Chain A
Amino acid sequence: MTPFELAEPLTVADALRFLDPDDSTVRPLGGGTALMLMMKAGVFRPTRLVSLRRIASLSRITALPDGGLVIGALTPLSDVEHSTEVARRAGVIVRTMRRLSNVRVRNVATIGGCLAHGDPHMDLPPVLMALDASIAVAGRTGKRTLKVENLFAGYYETVLKRDEIITELHIPAQGGRRAAYLKCTTGSADDWPALGVAVSFEAEGSAISAPRVVVSAATEKATRLNGAEAVLSGATIDDALLARAGDAAADEAETISDVRGSAPYKRELLRVYVRRAVRQAFEAERPLSSPPPLAREGREGAQGGAH
């Protein structure tokens, strides 16, 4: 790695002063897991990194009285994974963590880094979009909040300015919403996914409402699938509905080809995984008194994916 200057401010205000709106070689530093890889590969040569680790106020998990959660941007993923409040209020996040990289990376990588990196293959952004999460962003001219769904501008691109930092993640109360995230890895099991699908919805008996369906990895950036959502919205869940939702998703998503699969292949994966994800969310988080499970999908259903 090439040498750089490391700033370790104690407050957000000081951190902002070290950043530079006009210099792409100055960047905030969270856990450094992604930046270290980029620096080692020589694709990023910083002149200055602004470490946010010493800003104590940024690594707390707060359970709000209304059922929501606030997670500081510097909170390591493993703290989120092991939080009983997160497990209780947004269990899908904890289930997602189990297959997100490995224990050592989760011990160091931060929530802010997961969001700001903008890699479309990452697991948490689609999940947080499905949960309708938003982030608090601090800049020199003040603070703003932004829905996670509006954060990504393209492949490895976000709408954040060079002198802005993410300070907090806010996950609204999920009430009785059910959620699931599935990913499909086409290389080794722990490779980056060819496809990620996150869903969440309310279910009243078998009737689905307010669905959110998000695709990641197979597209340029994590994207909501409005067509699939429209199919699910207000409908009664059965196998035919799942099939139509999968078809709608496959019709609208702009999948891209890469080493993990061709665009048409990922389109077919999406068709199947939307079906599975909705099914899993419906069944896995089914309250005890709800209707009997759907017919099993044979081989397909059994392969399930994420835990």
Chain B
Amino acid sequence: MTALRTISFTLNGKQVSAQIAPHHSLLEVVRNDFSLYGARESCGQGLCGCCTLIVDGRAVSGCLYLAAFADGAAVETIESLDRDNVLDPVQEAFIEEGAFQCGFCTPGFVLMVKQLLDEHPDPDDDRIRDYLSGNLCRCGAYPEILRAVKSAARKRRASKAA
């Protein structure tokens, strides 16, 4: 009844396929089948953002997203930012502002901030809170994260202008 099926999608730009069961989440597939461990399950309920993945350009909670939905889609994980030691402006800003302690929440925050800045290059505080209200940081680095978002926004605008 629950036959395995093959799904094909692009993962961080590469064409891949995987054998999945219908009840597998996309998070399980990127971790277990592709050994990408940047996204992790924490709350498992869509609340904390630790499992954030980008599917066809939109952030989703990998813990609540069926892998079957990714068939034919473009999936990106935090590992997509790994470009020969060149950091993304958002990563740079997080480091400069000290926007983490343990780092467990950081991949999810970085992906959400990228999504925010793609859609709103110069976000005000309300907009930042709207995008990040679904990301929790148990270390409480929120003030630093807010500063990092603004700094990343400035960096991106500067590099666009240059």
Contacts and interface: CB of A to CB of B under 8 A. Distances in A.
Interface of A: 1-6, 8, 32-33, 36-37, 39-40, 47, 49, 51, 53, 78, 98, 101-105, 107-108, 189-190, 307
Contacts of A98: 130
A118 B24 CA distance: 26
Nearest to B58: A107
A133 to B, nearest CB: 25
Contacts of B25: 36
Interface string B19-54: 001110100000000000000000011110100100
B64 A51 contact: no
Contact of A101 (B2, B131, B134): B134
Contacts of A103: 59, 112, 115, 130-131, 133-134
A47 B1 CA distance: 9
A37 B64 contact: yes
Nearest to A29: B66
A78 B60 CA distance: 12
Interface residues of B, number: 30
Interface string B104-143: 0000000010010000000000100011011100000000
Nearest to B51: A104
Contacts of A307: 126
Contacts of B65: 32, 36, 108
B68 interface: yes
Given A102-B133, A103-B112, A3 B60 contact: no
29 contacts: A3-B1, A4-B2, A4-B22, A5-B1, A5-B22, A6-B22, A6-B66, A32-B64, A32-B66, A33-B46, A36-B25, A36-B63, A36-B64, A36-B65, A37-B45, A37-B46, A37-B64, A53-B69, A78-B58, A102-B46, A102-B47, A103-B112, A103-B115, A103-B130, A103-B133, A104-B46, A104-B49, A107-B58, A189-B133
Nearest to A7: B22
Nearest to B2: A3
B77 interface: no
Contacts of A40: 44-45
Given A5-B1, A103-B112, A104-B134, A36 B66 contact: yes
Contacts of A53: 69
A189 B60 CA distance: 21
A190 B133 contact: yes
Interface string B67-98: 01100000000000000000000000000000
Given A3-B21, A6-B66, A103-B59, 19 more contacts: A1-B23, A3-B1, A5-B2, A5-B22, A8-B68, A33-B46, A33-B61, A36-B63, A36-B66, A49-B22, A98-B130, A102-B47, A102-B134, A102-B135, A103-B112, A103-B133, A105-B61, A105-B134, A190-B133
Contact of A33 (B44, B64, B68, B126): B64
B68 A108 contact: no
Nearest to A307: B126
Contacts of B22: 3-6, 49
Contacts of B47: 102, 190
Contacts of B130: 98, 103
A181 B20 CA distance: 42
Contact of B23 (A4, A8, A33, A51): A4
B58 A39 contact: no
Contacts of B112: 103-104
A47 B65 CA distance: 18
B124 to A, nearest CB: 13
B96 to A, nearest CB: 25
A104 B58 CA distance: 8
A1 B66 CA distance: 11
Contacts of A3: 1-2, 21-23
Given A5-B2, A33-B46, A102-B133, A107 B59 contact: yes
B2 A104 contact: no
A104 B57 CA distance: 12
A56 to B, nearest CB: 13
